[in-house]
Amino acid sequence: DIQMTQSPSSLSASVGDRVTITCRASQNINTFLNWYQQKPGQAPKVVIFAASNLQSGVPSRFSGGGSGTDFALTISNLQPEDFATYFCHQSYQTPQTFGQGTNLEL
């Protein structure tokens, strides 16, 4: 299985900050990497797909990058609604696997 390692596991930030979450794959996954946002009591929601593509309806302050084994999700000008848990997800190979999550807290 491809292991996905996110860092940090938790992150404290303030409204208006710029934060970056990283995700490392245990082998090359090209750009088969997605990022999801999850709020308490809700299912995950796509924010970035194929490493760097912004999902429709997601604010442009979210951006993603990387390829191969190293990826990053950046949120600029943090807004109150951005405080949530973020997961990376690889779909390069089955079984699909997820990072352990990054809890972004105020």
Give the residues lining the site for other proteins (CB under 8 A). Answer: 32, 34, 36, 42-46, 49-50, 55, 85, 87, 89, 91-92, 94-98, 100-101
CA distances from 63 to 16, 27, 52, 75 (A): 15, 23, 7, 6
Enumerate the β-bridge partners of residue 97.
90
Q: How far is the CB of 77 from other proteins (least distance, A)?
A: 26
Q: How far is the CB of 79 from other proteins (least distance, A)?
A: 23
Q: Which is nearer to other proteins, 1 or 70 (CB)?
A: 1
Q: Which is nearer to other proteins, 52 or 55 (CB)?
A: 55
Closest CA to 11 of 78, 97, 94: 78
Q: Which is nearer to other proteins, 20 or 98 (CB)?
A: 98
Phi-psi region of 88 (alpha: psi -120 to 50; beta: other; left: phi over 0): beta
The tokens for 84 are 């949530």
Q: How far is the CB of 16 from other proteins (least distance, A)?
A: 27
